Amino acid sequence: MRIKTLVAAKDKAYTGNFCEYISEHHADTIDISAVNTAEHLRKTLSARKYDVALLDMAFIGEADYKSINLPLFLRSEQDTRDTSAPCTLPGASIRALPIKHIQKHQRISRAVAGILEEYATANGNIHILGEKMRSVTAVWSPAGGVGKTTVALSYAEASILKERDAFYLDLEDFSSALVYFDEDGKSISKVFEMLERNDGNVKMYIQGIASSKNGIKYLCAPDNFDDISILSADNTRELVICCAETAGELVVDLPCACNEVTRQVFDLADKVLLVTDRSETAQTKLAQFITQNCIYENINEKVTLVINKDTQASGRRGGLDPAIKTQNAIKANSAIKTLEDSAITLPYVEKHDAQSVCRELAAHGFGMYI
């Protein structure tokens, strides 16, 4: 997960150099934005929340600290005020802390190292926002129809059975969620619009409109399924974080495409449930993903293979096998074998309606996994 960071200083050259340095050296750990005026700062903080904000001392009275997990202040030699005593920042009424400084006139690499250090130190006990990033589980397969939605929903339901509150976020291009949920609430389309316009408090809106069924929170389907295609990687990231902060367990149901949205969700996920059934077609695609796609290398440590619709004994280990005949499959064999060792095997459930299939799998399928 990247640290969402804001740098606010009147000095445009400083913020420009700062952003350039981060993009060049820390793009994988820090997601940087900059503002140069008090008005822009206020607007930015009213729309988004930041893990870290590095603020010019001139802006100390201008920020809404409810939107900043870790405020740090840029101090130059000219700043003479004594800020070592604990002080309550406006809006951040929950705590009074000594103000933390980063020296402005030093190499940017050092300033960044200072920020990362402060963040790492503070991250264990930041409570200003009253919420931390919760558990995110991505459910994906390169093959269609293998049971991604079923697995996602039964996993969410199993979380509820374990008394964890769960949020189901459907990011499929076309969704079968209508089969499972009532759709009389407000649609997710307005959320997409807010994200696209970078406007309003997305999390509060999501909390306000989320519907709930059997304890699972969800957002109703888009007005138009094209709406989902406007979701950029950054918007996806914000959407996932906002939903994750709304429940203990966020389960994200993804389309088969391995696009920007999917990659962003993989990046944020604590766990990835990689679903397959035992069909030759699904296994062939799975083998291709494992061997040909560099994305797998980045996520393999958080992947759990889910072998769905197993018609033999439930709980049976291993057995994704020789049906895959391509060269890739042979290369993939050892990786697949490793995944098989810790795979979850879900039985084929003889029920006519999809909701009953989910309920059955939730009650019996995930065992000790959750």
Ligand X SMILES: Nc1ncnc2c1ncn2[C@@H]1O[C@H](COP(=O)(O)OP(=O)(O)OP(=O)(O)O)[C@@H](O)[C@H]1O
Q: Would you tell me which residues interact with Mg ion (CB under 5 A)?
A: 148-149
- Write the binding mask 279 to 318 for ligand X: x where contact by CB under 6 A, - elsewhere: -----------------------------xx---------
- Write the binding mask 248 to 267 for ligand X: x where contact by CB under 6 A, - elsewhere: --------x-----------
The yes or no reply on residue 274 touching ligand X (CB under 6 A) is no
Q: How far is the CB of 78 from ligand X (least distance, A)?
A: 59
- The listed partner (ligand X, Mg ion, none) that binds 346, CB under 5 to 8 Å by sort, is ligand X
Helix, strand, coil abundance in the chain, percent, nearest 5:
45, 20, 35
The yes or no reply on residue 272 touching ligand X (CB under 6 A) is no
Q: Name which of 83 and 279 has its Cβ closer to ligand X.
A: 279
- Distance, in Å, from the CA atom of 230 to the CA atom of 236, rounded to the nearest integer, reads 10
Residue type, 17: N
Residue 354 parent element (H or E): helix 354-364
- The tokens describing 58, both together, are 């001139």
Q: Write a three-state SS string for 24-64.
A: HHCCCCEEEEEECCHHHHHHHHHHCCEEEEEEEHHHCCCCC
What are the φ/ψ torsions at residue 147 (nearest 5 degrees)? Answer: 115, 25
Please choose, out of 185-193, 210-218, 243-251, 341-349, the segment that lies near ligand X by the rule CB under 6 A.
341-349
What are the φ/ψ torsions at residue 26 (nearest 5 degrees)? Answer: -135, 25
Q: Name which of 72 and 320 has its Cβ closer to ligand X.
A: 320
Q: How far is the CB of 91 from ligand X (least distance, A)?
A: 43
Q: Name which of 116 and 256 has its Cβ closer to ligand X.
A: 256
| Residue among 286, 285, 251, 247 at smallest CA distance from 265 | 251
DSSP-assigned letters across all residues of 91-143: T-TT--BPPPEEESSS-HHHHHHHHHHHHHHHGGG--SSS----EEEEEE-SS
Q: How far is the CB of 150 from ligand X (least distance, A)?
A: 3
HSE-up of 250 (CA within 13 Å, CB side)?
A: 27
- Write the binding mask 152 to 191 for ligand X: x where contact by CB under 6 A, - elsewhere: --------------------x---x---------------
Residue 8 parent element (H or E): strand 3-8
CB 119 within 8 A of CB 68: no
Burial of 270 by CB count in 10 Å (0-12 exposed, 13-18 middle, 19+ buried)? middle
- The listed partner (ligand X, Mg ion, none) that binds 348, CB under 5 to 8 Å by sort, is ligand X
Binding-residue total with ligand X (CB under 6 A)? 19
Q: Name which of 236 and 328 has its Cβ closer to Mg ion.
A: 236
Q: Name which of 149 and 246 has its Cβ closer to Mg ion.
A: 149
Please choose, out of 55-63, 91-99, 323-331, 354-362, the segment that lies near ligand X by the rule CB under 6 A.
354-362
Sheet holding 30-35, edge to edge: 30-35, 3-8, 50-56, 68-75, 101-103
Q: Which of residues 125-144 bind ligand X (CB under 6 A)?
A: 141, 144
Rule CB under 6 A: choose which of 15, 150, 189, 264 binds ligand X: 150
Q: How far is the CB of 268 from Mg ion (least distance, A)?
A: 20
Binding residues for ligand X, rule: CB under 6 A, are 141, 144-150, 172, 176, 256, 308-309, 346, 348-349, 354, 357, 361
